[in-house]
Structures are given as C-alpha cells and as structure tokens.
C-alpha cells in the first residue's frame, strides 16, 4: 500500500470520531477530522494570508522579547481581551472565520463570540504552560481549539502536578473542546519541536463577557 492510500484510509477511519479524555477533573473531547487533512491545510494557508497577524512582546526579568508565535484576535464588537498584560481589540469576523465558527459552534454546542488565532510559523514557535483562565472567560469556560496545518504536540498537566503530563497530537482538521473545571485545575502547552518545518494555525474559540 503506498503512503497516499494509507493516508486517505486513515482520514476515512477517523472522520468525525470523538474521543473523551479520561483525565481527573478535566472535561476534554477530541473531535478528529472535523475537516479533512487537505481541507485543514487549505484553511491554514488561507488564514495565514487573510488574518491581521501581530507580533506581540512580553517583558521578563527587565527584558522585552518577541512572543514566539504571531497572534490575531477576532470577535464581535466589544470583545476586548487581555492576555499576559496585552490588550487586544477584536478585528471584525471575516467570511473564512465566520464559516469555521459556525461549524465549531455546532461541534461544541456553544455560541462563541471571539477567537484568538495563533500562527506557529514552524516548530520553533510555541506556547508555554498556561491555562485559559482569564476572569473575562468566567468560572468554567468552554474553549474549542481548531488545529490547521502541521501536526503539533499539545501537552496537558494538572496544576498541582498530581498526574504525569499527557501528550496529544493535534492534526490538521481536529477540534479539541475543553470544558468545566479544565482551565481551573489543568494547564497546557505546545512545546517547541525542531523537526516541524511546516506552519500551523490554531484557533481557540472563546466566549468572553462583553465589556459594555
Ligand atoms: O496551539 C494550540 O493548540 C494551543 C493554543 C493555546 O494554548 C491558546 O491559545 O491558549
């Protein structure tokens, strides 16, 4: 069997399957292949071109560094979002993001009003350990995270370190939904991976409390 046919068999096999992760205190579902790999890769290329990417900076120990990825914030009007001291005013939805949101609303049975987009230009880009636990998201936020482009390792561990970290490989077209106390009790990262040469776009759909 050549690699092309085994790839398409794998796509058929996984299409739309949902895996619930058995992690204490977390509520996480992995919806595989909500888009096929090739649709996911096409969306990745489109969003890289279309979105209004910005290079944010962080200050640490008196020094300022570039955040190791690019970001963009899209959402309904009045969905301003602050993250590590950076305040983002939303760009208005474009048609690609609107279509993706509609599908993701259905997958998660939610009505998201905003999305934080992360652009990992290659395996050197990453996001460090954190939880999406900002006050504006409420006590038990639902976060739906869409992966497009390169496969990357997503690691999750309990904040109290009572469990070993779990690794999940997120592939183009997958949607990971986190609910309940996940953000309160757990944290996650996407580590650097020197082997990855291709770009990845991740979209984390969120429901923020309106600022008015
Ligand atoms: O890229 C990912 O899969 C995770 C992104 C993330 O952790 C975030 O936006 O808070």
Reported as a single tens digit per residue, the pLDDT across 31-80 is: 999 999 999 999 999 999 999 999 999 888 899 999 999 999 999 988 87
In a domain, 4, yes or no: no
CB 175 less than 6 A from any atom of ligand 1: no
Query: Which atom of ligand 1 lies nearest, measured to the CA of 170?
Result: 3
pLDDT of 23 reads: 95
pLDDT of 207 reads: 95
CB 30 less than 6 A from any atom of ligand 1: no
Share of the chain above pLDDT 90, in %: 78
Q: How many angstroms does the Cα of residue 184 sit away from the middle of ligand 1?
A: 16
Residue 151: closest CA among 66, 67, 33, 9 = 33
Take atom 8 of ligand 1 and give the residue whose Cα is closest: 204
In a domain, 84, yes or no: yes
Angle between helices 95-108 and 37-50 (to 10 degrees): 130
**Are 44 and 121 a contacting pair, CB within 8 Å?**
no
Whole-number average pLDDT of the chain:
91
CB 116 less than 6 A from any atom of ligand 1: yes
* Distance between first and last Cα of the chain: 58
Take atom 2 of ligand 1 and give the residue whose Cα is closest: 202
Distance CA 180, CA 178 (A): 7
Residue 80 structural domain:
17-206
If one compares 83 and 43, the residue with the highest pLDDT of the two is 43
In a domain, 109, yes or no: yes
In a domain, 2, yes or no: no
In a domain, 1, yes or no: no
pLDDT of 83 reads: 67
The DSSP letter of residue 208 is P
In a domain, 211, yes or no: no
In a domain, 151, yes or no: yes
Question: pLDDT band at residue 6, thresholds of 50, 70 and 90?
Answer: very low
Q: What is the CATH number of the domain that holds 154?
A: 2.60.120.590
pLDDT of 142 reads: 97
pLDDT of 79 reads: 84
Number of domains in the chain: 1
In a domain, 11, yes or no: no
CB 118 less than 6 A from any atom of ligand 1: yes
Cβ partners under 8 Å of residue 35, min gap 6: 43, 103, 148, 172, 173
Query: Which atom of ligand 1 lies nearest, measured to the CA of 202?
Result: 1
Q: Give 139-187 pLDDT, tens digit per residue.
A: 899 999 999 999 999 999 999 999 999 999 999 999 999 999 999 999 9
């Amino acid at each position: 069997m050549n690699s092309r046919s085994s790839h398409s068999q794998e796509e058929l096999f996984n299409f739309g399957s949902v895996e619930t992760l058995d992690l204490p205190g977390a509520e996480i579902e992995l919806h595989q292949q909500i888009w096929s790999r090739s649709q996911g890769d096409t969306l990745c290329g489109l969003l890289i071109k279309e979105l209004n990417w910005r290079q944010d900076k962080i200050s640490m120990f008196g020094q300022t560094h570039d955040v190791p990825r690019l970001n963009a914030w899209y959402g309904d009007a009045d969905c301003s979002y602050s993250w590590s001291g950076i305040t983002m005013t939303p760009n208005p939805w474009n048609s690609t993001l609107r279509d993706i949101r509609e599908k993701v609303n259905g997958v998660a049975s939610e009505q998201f009003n905003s999305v934080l987009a992360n652009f990992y230009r290659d395996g050197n880009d990453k996001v460090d350990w954190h939880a999406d636990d900002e006050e504006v998201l409420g006590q038990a936020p639902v976060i739906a995270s869409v992966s497009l482009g390169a496969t990357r390792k997503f690691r999750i561990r309990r904040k109290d370190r009572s469990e070993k970290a779990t690794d999940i490989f997120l592939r183009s077209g997958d949607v990971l939904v986190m609910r309940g106390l996940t953000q309160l009790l757990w944290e996650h990262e996407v580590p650097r991976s020197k082997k990855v040469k291709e770009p990845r776009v991740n979209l984390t759909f969120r429901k923020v409390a309106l600022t008015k």
